[in-house]
Amino acid sequence: MSGRSLKLSAACVAILAVAVANAGSLVGQTEPTVDDSAFPETWPFQVGEEAEYAVLFGRIQFGRMTLRVEAQDTIRGTPTHRLSMEIEGRIPLYRMDDRTVSWIASDPYRSLRFEEVLRQGSYRRHRRWELDHETLTATREDWDEEAEAYRPHRRQRDLPMPPGALDEISYLFLIRKLDFEIGRTYEFNRYFEEDGNPVVVEVLRRERVRVPAGTFETIVVRPIIQTDGLFGEDGRAEVFISDDDRRLIVQIKSRMLRGAVNMYLRESTSGEAETGG
User: 137-144 and 50-57: which strand pairing?
Assistant: unpaired
pLDDT tens-digit map of 222-244 = 888 766 544 455 556 789 999 99
> What is the model's pLDDT at position 19?
31
Mean pLDDT computed over every residue of the chain: 81
Per the model's pLDDT, the better-predicted residue between 216 and 229 turns out to be 216
Q: Residue 52's closest CA among 271, 231, 267, 211?
A: 267
> Counting beta carbons within 10 angstroms of the beta carbon of residue 154, is it exposed (0 to 12), middle (13 to 18) or buried (19 or more)?
exposed
What tens digit of pLDDT does each residue of 78-103 get? 999 999 999 998 888 888 889 999 99
pLDDT of residue 21: 27
- Nearest CA-CA partner of 189 in 219, 218, 160, 166: 166
Q: What is the pLDDT of residue 267?
A: 96
Q: According to the model, what pLDDT value does residue 35 have? A: 63
Residue-wise pLDDT for 5-38, tens only, equals: 333 333 343 333 333 222 223 333 455 555 667 8
DSSP 126-195: EEEEEEETTTTEEEEEEEETTTTEEEE-SS--SEE--TT-B-HHHHHHHGGGS---TT-EEEE--BSSGG
Q: Which residues contact 12 (CB under 8 A, 6 or more apart)?
A: 87, 96, 98, 118, 120
- Taking each continuous run of H as one helix and of E as one strand, the counts in the chain are 2, 17
Share of the chain above pLDDT 70, in %: 79
pLDDT digits (tens, 9 = 90+) for 191-202: 998 888 888 899
- Please give the average per-residue pLDDT across 44-67, as a whole number: 92
| pLDDT value of residue 32 | 58
Span 261-277, mean pLDDT? Answer: 76
| Residue-level pLDDT at 277 | 47
